[in-house]
Amino acid sequence: MDCLFCKIINKEVPADIVYEDSKFLAFYDINPKTPIHILIIPKKHILSVDHLKIEDKELMGGLILVAKKIAGEKKLKGYRLLINVGRGGGQIIDHLHMHLLAGKPNKDFELRILNE
Ligand code: 5GP
Ligand code: ZN
């Protein structure tokens, strides 16, 4: 499958991995918008939130718990979780992913979110 994030999961493309288990992978974003910018993905190839099925309910709960675990390990004081959905929602990579953003917000990123 020609999917960048599936290639990262399969270690065909390198990434700075933060967390991995049988269902999820987390790695640093290549172009960080905030001082800490991590992407958390399910290993199952799901295109976007719009493509979720009812049986993915538990997986999505797990995704958020991975974010909480990473935030705890990194002792983050606060953070934001963001999922872009579809091109209109700013999604560029067609493999469902959650952004974990922490640190001083990048103004351009803030404006981009507000303007889109
Ligand atoms: P989206 O806009 O689809 O929600 O977010 C995709 C994110 O993937 C962007 O923040 C972008 O910087 C990141 N990204 C794109 N290509 C790569 C890559 O090859 N490696 C890593 N680590 N991140 C990537
Ligand atoms: Zn994929």
Contact between 63 and 98 under an 8 Å Cβ cutoff? The reply is yes
The domain that holds 35 is classified in CATH as: 3.30.428.10
Q: Cβ < 6 Å from ligand 1: which residues? A: 4, 15, 27-31, 39, 84, 90-93
Hey, whose CA ends up nearest to atom 16 of ligand 1? 30
**50: containing domain:** 4-115
Tell me the C-alpha distance between 31 and 47, whole Å: 21
Q: What pLDDT is stored for residue 1 in this prediction?
A: 75
pTM of the model: 0.93
Whether residue 84 has pLDDT greater than 70: yes
Distance 77 CA to ligand 1 centre (A): 24
Whether 97 is a known active-site residue: answer yes
Whether residue 85 has pLDDT greater than 70: yes
Whether residue 90 has pLDDT greater than 60: yes
Q: What is the DSSP string of 56-78?
A: GHHHHHHHHHHHHHHHHHTT-S-
Tell me the C-alpha distance between 18 and 9, whole Å: 12
Number of domains comprising the chain: 1
Tell me the C-alpha distance between 111 and 57, whole Å: 31
Distance 68 CA to ligand 2 centre (A): 23
